[in-house]
Each structure stands twice: as structure tokens, then as C-alpha cells.
Amino acid sequence: MTIGLILGYGTGAIYFFQFLIPRKKPLKLRKLLITSMEKLPPNGSTTFKDLAGREVVLVNTQEGLKAISTVCTHLGCKVYWEPENNRFFCPCHGGVFDINGNVVSGPPPRPLDNYPVEVDENDNVFVKLRES
């Protein structure tokens, strides 16, 4: 009888802990066609919105294409791409980010969000975005 109770409560405990600690869902990415290489000259940029409606800038740099969020990681203000200075700037509190979105100066606690970029055989530019 004791063994039966232990097995019964043990089985219940397993389901209880699975409820408390749910499994992580795999990250789903969706490719979104943004532009073509022909329309994005060297040092050129274009903006678009991600699947959640947040603005993202796509920049054609010497290092390659970069898709970086324009939402500052400090307080959520809009960050602007400054091609003449090769940086992102947040006017709210003077946050400065490099071409890769890394914090250079100011109060932002972490880098800007980056998105993977792909160019297909027809020179179409796709950005992989996280599904909500």
C-alpha cells in the first residue's frame, strides 16, 4: 500500500512540476523580403517594421548587410542611424551604438537587437524575424 501511494503521488508530482516549469518553445524565424541589392547602394540604408511593428534599419556596410532594431535598450526611445558618423544615436539620453549595435557610450544596458540577413541568388535581401 505504501508503494502504491508513493507511485501515485510521484506521478502527480511529475505533472505538477511540468506545469510549473514549462518546456521552452523553439524559436521560430520567418524570412521577410525587404529589398534588392540593386536598391541598397554601399553605405545605403532602408527602414522597415518587424512582425511586432517595431522599426528596424537595414544598412549596407563595408562589413556586409546589418539589420538592427531602432529601439533603444535604455528606455525604448527611437535610435537613428547616422551614416556620416557610422553609428546609431539615441537622442533621449545620448546613447551611442556602433555599426553592429554594440553600446559605445551612454546609459543603454545592452546592445541593440540584431536580425540575421540573407541575400539569395537573385540579389533579393531577406531578414529573418522572430515570430511573436
Look up the pTM and report it.
0.74
Q: Compute the average pLDDT of residues 2-29.
A: 65
Q: Is 124 exposed, middle or buried (0-12, 13-18, 19+ CB in 10 A)?
A: middle
Which position has the higher pLDDT, 132 or 41? 41
Q: Is the pLDDT of residue 5 over 60?
A: no
- Asked whether the predicted pLDDT for residue 45 surpasses 70, the reply is yes
Domain residue limits, the chain:
29-130
Say yes or no to pLDDT of 55 above 70. Answer: yes
Q: What is the CATH number of domain 29-130?
A: 2.102.10.10
Confidence of residue 64 (pLDDT cuts 50, 70, 90): very high
Q: What is the pLDDT of residues 74-103, one digit of tens each?
A: 999 999 999 999 999 999 999 999 999 999
With a cut of 80, say whether residue 21 has pLDDT above it. Answer: no
Q: Quote the mean pLDDT of the chain.
A: 86
Is the pLDDT confidence value at 3 over 90? no
126 touches 35 (CB < 8 A): no
Q: Is 67 in a helix, a strand, or coil? A: strand
The Cα 81–Cα 58 span in angstroms is: 10
Strand ranges, E, within 2-116: 29-36, 45-49, 55-61, 64-69, 80-82, 87-90, 95-97, 103-105, 114-115
> Residue 118: in which H helix or E strand, if any?
strand 117-119
pLDDT at 62: 87
Share of the chain above pLDDT 70, in %: 79
Question: Cβ(123)–Cβ(40) under 8 Å?
Answer: no
Measured CA to CA, the distance from residue 34 to residue 116 in angstroms comes to 12
